[in-house]
Amino acid sequence: MINTLIIDDEKHCIDRIEGLLRTCGSEFQLTAKAQTVEEAISETKKHHPDLVFLDVQIGTQTGFDYLAQWDQPDFDVVFTTAYDQYAIEAFKFSALDYLLKPIDKENFKVAINKYTSRLSKNYFDKKMEVLMHNLRSNQATKKISIPTQEGYEFLTLQEVLRLEADGNYTHIFHKNGTKLTVAKTLKVFDEMLVGSNFFRIHHSHLINLIHIKKYYKGKGGYVVMEDGASVDVSTRKKEEFLKFLTNYYH
C-alpha cells in the first residue's frame, strides 16, 4: 500500500488530485490532506506518507517551508505548481517531478508511472539542493541534473560547452574535456535550455554561446568552440543564429 498525502491551500486542487488518484489503482491510499504547512507537518508525523503531492505556494508559506522540517525526507515528492516559467525551468533542471496546474490527467499518470517504476528516494536531497540553488541564482551559475546509468550528474550550465545528437542519445561535452552520454534526445535539452545562452545551430548540435571562440562565414558557416571542435551552422539556422549572436554580444 502506498500512503499518500496531498498538501494544497486550495480545496478544489486537493479534490482534483484525489479524483485522479482514484483512477490509479487500489495500491494508492489517500491517508491525509492538509491546507497549511503546520497541518501538513502534523499529518506527516501522524501518517508517515510514502508519496506527497506538494503545492509550491501554500498560503503565505511555501512547500519548501514544509520540506525544511525534515533533515532527510523518507517520502517521495511530486510538486504541483502554477508558478511562472522561471520556476518551471528550475524544476526541469533539477529533475524533480512536478505537475503544472490545472493538472492534466495524462501528465498525472506519467508522474504516477514514474513513481511506481522507481519507488526510490535516491538523489532527492541533491535534486532539491539543485532546485533551491537555481531559484536563487543568476543564469551563469545555474545547475542541471543529468540522469546517467549510475544515478545523476550535477553540472553547472556555464561549464557545458556543447551538446551533440546521436540518435536517441545526446553527448554532453564539458569544459574540462570529459564527455557524458545521456539517453535523452537533443530536442529534450533544446526545449529545456531555452533562454539559457544555448543555441541549436544544427539539427545535431546545441552550443553554449559563452564558449564560442570563432565564427567562420560560408553557406551556413561554422563555429570553433573553446575545445577546438568545429561545428557546422545549418543554412536554415544561419540568419537566426547571426541575429541571436548580435543580440547576445551587445
Domain ranges of the chain: 2-135, 157-248
Question: Which long-range contacts link 109-113 to residues 24+ away (Cβ below 8 Å)?
Answer: 109/24, 111/78, 112/24, 112/28
- The second-level CATH assignment, the architecture, of 2-135 is 3-Layer(aba) Sandwich (3.40)
Looking at domain 157-248, its CATH architecture is Beta Barrel (2.40)
Which uninterrupted H or E stretch holds 103? Answer: none
- In whole angstroms, give the CA distance from residue 241 to residue 248: 10
pLDDT value at 119 more than 70: no
Residues present in the chain in total: 250
pLDDT single digits (tens) 185-240: 999 899 888 878 899 999 999 999 999 999 998 888 999 999 999 999 999 999 99
What is the model's pTM? 0.64
If one compares 138 and 226, the residue with the highest pLDDT of the two is 226
Q: What pLDDT digit, counting tens, does each position of 39-75 carry?
A: 999 999 999 999 999 998 999 998 889 988 887 788 8
Per-residue pLDDT at 86: 55
| Mean per-residue pLDDT of the chain | 87
Residue 89, Cβ neighbours under 10 Å: how many?
A: 19
